[in-house]
Structure 1
Amino acid sequence: MHLVELDDLKDAIVGIPGVTGLSTEQRKRLTIAVELVANPSILFMDEPTSGLDARAAAIVMRTVRNTVDTGRTVVCTIHQPGINIFEAFDEAIPGVTKIRELCNPAAWMLEVSSVAAEARLGIDFGEYYKSTALYQQNNALVKELSSPPPGAKDLYFPRQYSQSTWGQFKFCLWKQQWTYWRSPDYNLSRFFFTLAAAFMVGSIFWKVGTKRENSSDLMTIIGAMYASVLFVGINNCGTVQPVVAVERTVFYRERAAGMYSALPYAMAQVAAEVPYVFVQTLYYTLIVYAMVSFEWEVSKFFWFFFITFFSFLYFTYYGMMTVSMTPNLQVAAICSNAFYYLFNLFSGFFIPGPKIPRWWMWYYWSCPMAWTVYGLIVSQYGNVDDTINVPGMSMKPTVKAYIEDYFGYNMGFMGPVAAALVGFTFFFAFMYAYCIKTLNFQKR
């Protein structure tokens, strides 16, 4: 850190280029520092000052000079350097005529290195190099280094990675925890949105949970529960996608370096979301449950929390899955948005299950939002024996009977509902891990 003059930026977030975090020249110095970790005796740098102004280029070259002063050799290519940068080098590679007075450096470079220059001089630079003693020495050195010494054995490692799967998972989880902790724009934005959505839903449906005089009141309550999950779920899906897209780029590089495999990384990414979604669900359900005035029973609140938690979680994992299945963030957003409408349409709220055509029932039962609505309605009103007024019916049915007749929901089906919600959560997480492992959208 001291060698590349990054002491003042200790513990800083690298960030996204051009958006947040380190500047361009600070990133170049960080790249040099990463190479110095291996303590090499020689460093090769390709245009370390490209894209920088004079001041930033001088800072980078000062760190290069500091590296040379430690006894290391630096071989560096620089296009059109200023006089200060030129004087920082101990030696320049000769072999071309000197630049003429008042000649443009770029034009001079083209003159001495182009095919036209070879034709004018009658020299093939490649063939000339092959006729030198240096070429023979380099060939002999390459042959010597590429041939194993007598008695040497092939390198053998008992496994592909230095750490076990559990060790890789712990490392990746530690990394993801720090990444999430250092991403306040992501976590605070979804927390504030959840808080605002909780108060908005609570204020719109203020104390409607105690009003059960007719079917319209009941539909209003059901709408409150439906909206309370849908708003935040879709937001979770949308906000997690940019984070996963950036992390996937890092994952491609680190997997190629053999640091860890895809499965521990995906497991860590999935596990890192759980505590944040849990906290998000906790204060959201407390606010909504209190303001809407649902019945304060332990079992009913538990079911409301359980269903909301896994609904938020499967929406989050659904967003992660769409990123892993698509080449970029834009395509992932389009795909996820397309299914939001299907989730709404087949949720069972706008069109109850018994009224959906039989040839579409397969999608109704495979829609995760349908199971969420099922669980929310039945957990709160599946055992209520109060009667309500229903237009067109002379006898007042109970809330329990009306829900079973109109929506087709039954209190005894809560076990499969809970299993389905957990199943959708694990399915989306599994698909994310599978796609991360098998699909590679790198263009290189």
Structure 2
Amino acid sequence: MGSLKTHVFENVVYKIKTVKEGCFKNSSKSEEEKMILKGISGIVSPGEMLAILGPSGSGKTTLLTGLGGRLVNGHLDGAITFNSKPFSNAMKRNTGFVTQDDVLYPHLTVTETLVFTALLRLPKTFSIEEKTVHAEAIIPQLGLTKCKDSIIGGPLLRGVSGGERKRVSIGQEMLINPSLLFLDEPTSGLDSTTALRIVSTLKDLAMGGRTVVMTIHQPSSRLFYMFDKVLLLSDGNPLYFGRGEDAMGYFSGIGFSPLVAMNPSDFLLDLSSGTLSDDPRVLSEGPRVDPTSVKQTLVVAFKTNLAENLKEQLKESEIQQVEEKLHEKKFNQWSNTWWQQFSVILRRGLKERKHESFSGLKVGQVLAVAFLCGLLWWKSNNIQDQIGLLFFYTNFWEFFPMFQAIFTFPQERLMLKKERSSGMYRLSAYFMARTVGDLPMELALPSIFTVITYWMAGLKPSVRSFFATLFSLLVNVLVSQGLGLAIGAMFMDQKSATVLGSVIMLSFTLAGGYFVQHVPSFISWIKYISISQYAYKLLLVSQYSPGETYSCGVNTTCLIEDFPSIKPLGLGDKATSVVALAIMLLGYRFLAYVILMRIGVTKK
């Protein structure tokens, strides 16, 4: 392989600021800068597979994430180049990155998962048919033919095996035919046979001219000797870089050699942990050696014996050092148009979430409440009871859609982070597709609820009044859904978002004009931002008109606008409620979008 196709990382240093609190509760906090990676260098060419080894906390994943351009916090310095150019966002779009956890949609089949990924990641110069054929061609290459029509599955849903899930994740990255493929712990949680199959697949990919870089915790001896190069880390320091088959000889040459045959990776991990066996038959160093001194000895040995040789390799590659912090200008070219991204994400979302959106439990819940309301308010002629039903409309169809929406972004955070970091689509395309995809069920259920309860409860038998009620209810649903999206995006934690959402919605409900009709002036501002008040007023206006009368005593009639539960809100100025809800409808969704833009899921 020519040097112009070599991936080089030289003197990579990564620092992150940590907050240190004082000993006492009110003591001041101070920031400390912690160095995670301490000058790591390496070189790997097409056709080679590099394994990054080390114990937990040694910096393996941090280094891999930094090399793949996916670190979003901290400060990364060093020269990271590929094809003699700084590793940029332009290259990242054509680089494969497989995370340790397989982030996949559980209800999609293997074929559907790969096809939707191909539709999003392959350039628009390919037709839909060509993208589909390309995705299906990956399946036999990864040995997924037998399970191609099986769903992925999840913790509570039976699907493909762990090894097959991992190969699907690899297949998603292989669709773009990457020259450089990063994998974080691809054998984690797999049995030795499945792990061997995965690494063998990766070895075949490397031999096809690709560069494969992976982290791996404790490979078997069979896996170890498949690696062309090995990088051993300890506390962010390099202890070894070179051919895998030469590792044991190197450590033996500096005085660290096992006296009995053992798995090379086990031996290397023992050394990088600074722990040597207490059994003198295993290691020549003898028992009870201080771990810190062992690590220091190995770090010094690396600088003395390997560092200079590695520098010579870097010089021979004729690649200049480039200070690359991986935070440079954004790359604005996309594989597909906005509309193509929107349509694919929308179709994928509808296919994935139809099992949840149209679940019997959710439909049954709404139908049960609807019929219960219809029976409780059966043909009611009492105005106070009818007003109570209208406020229940407002209350129920604020809480229900809000809590459904709160879970939207927290549940999809990992998927959104994975796909956005790969540059698969614009955030706006995802946001619009996700919002539009939820509309069918969000609007269908309240419509069914209204049809059932409206006529059972004996509300005004007028087509105009019915559709005015339905319109008011649907606007209430969409505004509450927008509030839920904003709260979910703000916290990305379902428990915290649920607590805040409950408090906000209860505040809106109490100030909505039904429970407390004379709100004290010092807290009356709540009613002006209350969804409940505006939606409740629209529902009242849909049923009652100024000038109508009702029986308020024996042979006595009163104006409907003077009814005690209606008078504080009144039946006029309908436009204000419509405008207020319209502003909230757009405002909450815009707020959710802005929050998503500012958090880590959008950083590439």
Q: TM class by shorter-chain length? A: 0.7 to 0.9
Shift of 1:439: 3.9
The counterpart of 2:447, out of the listed 282, 287, 290, is 282
TM-score under structure 1 length normalisation: 0.79
CA contact (8 A) 1:161 1:260 kept: no
CA contact (8 A) 2:537 2:577 kept: yes
1:129 and 2:306 are equivalent in the alignment: yes
Cα gap change, 1:423 to 1:42, in 2 (>3 Å):
closer
**Hey, what's the Cα distance between the residues in 1 that align with 2:370 and 2:298?**
79
Q: Percent identity over the alignment?
A: 24
SS at match of 1:331: helix
Number of the residue aligned with 1:178: 348
1:161 and 2:332 are equivalent in the alignment: yes
The counterpart of 2:438, out of the listed 251, 260, 273, is 273
The counterpart of 1:101, out of the listed 251, 260, 266, is 260
| Residue identity matched to 2:589 | A
1:311 and 2:476 are equivalent in the alignment: yes
Cα gap change, 1:241 to 1:23, in 2 (>3 Å):
farther
**Hey, what's the Cα distance between the residues in 1 that align with 2:434 and 2:472?**
22
**Hey, what's the Cα distance between the residues in 1 that align with 2:261 and 2:357?**
57
CA contact (8 A) 1:238 1:333 kept: yes
Number of the residue aligned with 1:201: 373
Alignment of 1:311-350 (within 5 A): 311-350=476-515
SS at match of 1:397: strand
Number of the residue aligned with 2:521: 358
CA contact (8 A) 1:172 1:265 kept: yes
Shift of 1:76: 5.5
The counterpart of 1:422, out of the listed 564, 579, 582, is 582
Cα gap change, 1:161 to 1:99, in 2 (>3 Å):
same
Number of the residue aligned with 2:591: 431
Number of the residue aligned with 2:557: 396
SS at match of 1:182: helix
1:221 and 2:391 are equivalent in the alignment: no
**Hey, what's the Cα distance between the residues in 2 that align with 1:122 and 1:441?**
36
**Cα displacement string for residues 79-115 of structure 1 (whole angstroms, at most 9, x for unaligned residues):** 4444664676789431324754365766622455557
Cα gap change, 1:405 to 1:6, in 2 (>3 Å):
closer
The counterpart of 2:467, out of the listed 302, 305, 330, is 302
Cα gap change, 1:319 to 1:186, in 2 (>3 Å):
farther
Cα gap change, 1:277 to 1:78, in 2 (>3 Å):
closer
The counterpart of 1:48, out of the listed 186, 190, 196, is 186
1:380 and 2:543 are equivalent in the alignment: yes
Mark the runs of 5 or more structure 1 residues left unpaired by the alignment: 148-156, 212-216
Cα gap change, 1:135 to 1:346, in 2 (>3 Å):
same
Shift of 1:321: 0.6
**Hey, what's the Cα distance between the residues in 1 that align with 2:424 and 2:299?**
50
SS at match of 2:187: coil
**Hey, what's the Cα distance between the residues in 2 that align with 1:264 and 1:121?**
51
SS at match of 1:49: coil
The counterpart of 1:234, out of the listed 399, 404, 408, is 399
Number of the residue aligned with 1:368: 531
Mark the runs of 5 or more structure 2 residues left unpaired by the alignment: 1-138, 229-242, 275-291, 324-328
Cα gap change, 1:439 to 1:112, in 2 (>3 Å):
closer
CA contact (8 A) 2:397 2:473 kept: no
SS at match of 1:388: strand
SS at match of 2:541: helix
CA contact (8 A) 1:263 1:437 kept: no
- Tell me how large the CA RMSD over aligned residues is: 3.8
CA contact (8 A) 2:538 2:574 kept: yes
Number of the residue aligned with 1:28: 166
The counterpart of 1:143, out of the listed 295, 319, 322, is 319
CA contact (8 A) 2:410 2:492 kept: no
**Hey, what's the Cα distance between the residues in 1 that align with 2:142 and 2:463?**
59
Shift of 1:219: 1.6
Shift of 1:205: 1.7
Larger displacement relative to structure 2 (134-143 or 217-226) = 134-143
SS at match of 1:94: helix
Shift of 1:429: 1.3
| Residue identity matched to 2:247 | G
**Cα displacement string for residues 278-324 of structure 1 (whole angstroms, at most 9, x for unaligned residues):** 22232222112122122221210111110010111111111101012
CA contact (8 A) 2:421 2:603 kept: no
CA contact (8 A) 2:406 2:494 kept: yes
CA contact (8 A) 1:388 1:398 kept: no
SS at match of 1:389: strand
Aligned residues: 419
**Hey, what's the Cα distance between the residues in 2 that align with 1:252 and 1:81?**
28
CA contact (8 A) 2:183 2:213 kept: yes
**Hey, what's the Cα distance between the residues in 2 that align with 1:377 and 1:57?**
65
**Hey, what's the Cα distance between the residues in 1 that align with 2:268 and 2:527?**
69
**Hey, what's the Cα distance between the residues in 2 that align with 1:405 and 1:68?**
74
Number of the residue aligned with 1:406: 567
TM-score under structure 2 length normalisation: 0.60
**Hey, what's the Cα distance between the residues in 2 that align with 1:73 and 1:35?**
13
CA contact (8 A) 1:343 1:370 kept: yes
SS at match of 1:338: helix
Number of the residue aligned with 1:153: none
CA contact (8 A) 2:358 2:441 kept: no
**Cα displacement string for residues 134-189 of structure 1 (whole angstroms, at most 9, x for unaligned residues):** 53132231526969xxxxxxxxx9x953359x942551353044224312453124
Shift of 1:426: 1.5
